[in-house]
Chains A and B, each alone.
Chain A
Amino acid sequence: MNINFKHEWIETNIGLMSVLTMLAISVGGLVEIAPLFFIDETIEKVEGVRPYTPLEQRGRDIYIREGCYTCHSQMIRPFRDEKLRYGHYSLAAESQFDHPFQWGSKRTGPDLARVGGKYSNEWHVQHMVAPRSMVPESVMPNYPWLLSTPLDLSDLVGRMNALRKVGVPYSLSQAEYGANVTRFGETVAGQLHIPDARKNLIEQANFGNYDGDRSGISEMDAMVAYLQVLGTMVDFSKYADDAFVDNR
């Protein structure tokens, strides 16, 4: 059989050309991305990374709703200036439960990957309400409504179920809860149990009183709880300087 390949076949068949164009431009992506799913060391093996508690997760939802990511990344790159300013470079493992992740390099505002514990809750509240009252040169918009808007809990379970479907180990059954106890310990596993989500959220908000106002749970409570946990899960003092170097 003698098949004479002719460009004309492709050039006169728009369907075939679309398919072949798509294949050609996918090659780069496939070659770069697909192997990451098979390489053992893509995600570093570190202790301490856990899914967000219901309150932190709601804070994260608000972070995304307000578009914080358009100015703030959560990805400290391995450069000296970033290490000095923000701390240890971000690990892939640290955003393994993030959907969607907050990587990026668009920094109108500072990177927030390790902002947890850097400032007091009160600073965050004041800074969110009126950024320039704390940092005169800031260009951040004011977000005063976070403090006055009660946190919507009506769809909490639905949100956690959705995350569970994409692989976040929130538990529904006792068996899943048991697996979480083994993986994260009892305290964390309790926080990840969807049937207790509402109770856990209210407890954490009341105990932490993140917005400094005891009268109710505001969106600010959730937001500050989320910001205060960012980058704090891995204790880097347990790892050698070069512990993660050979992962890349």
Chain B
Amino acid sequence: MSLHHHLTAPLIGNNPVTLQILGICSALAVTTTLSTAITMSVALTVVLCLSNGVISLMRHHIPPSIRLIIQITIVASIVIVIDQFMQAFMFEMSKRLSIFVGLIVTNCLVLGRAEAFAMRNPVLPSVVDGLGNGLGYSLVLLIVGALREFLGTGALMGVPLVTTAADGGWFQPLGLMQLAPSAFFILGLLVWLVRAMRPEQVEQPEFRLRTSEDRRP
């Protein structure tokens, strides 16, 4: 498996959010505006790369029975550092993201990649895998954040693109976009779109409606 594959596969073919359905919680919470989405994406990607790298470095020395505790400890340490960094240099943004930076520890994507990849692979591939998954996650967050901010306020990154009805224009913002359920709907539509383009990602149902094409084998 080449490094290039690790980097590009998680973008669409093996996207952590739309295919593996990991990391949904933060995808709902921080996507009300595009800027918070970007910040969260960068934070998560950095954490993913670092945690994958560190865990991969230690992978031969971690006892299997306590590996989850050790992985979480490593991830938590990295997240605390990132959190302190953001509070020091990006105070406003850190206040808007509030607890969600700290909650990267619980993001199933981080632990998922650590367990599935970093524990069995050398350092450089692990870091690149972390980068790829982080980019895949960021792609989804950017799309959802952009849609929610634009349809909810008529602006992107705080810059108004269309005049809202409140300012005398034609655009009526959709109030639902300020609420979390809209992220669910957008994610659902995104998953539908990706699986329509890549039918191999569709899960097989346990039962199908009997039609005349079915025959007993």
Do A and B interact with each other, yes or no?
Answer: no
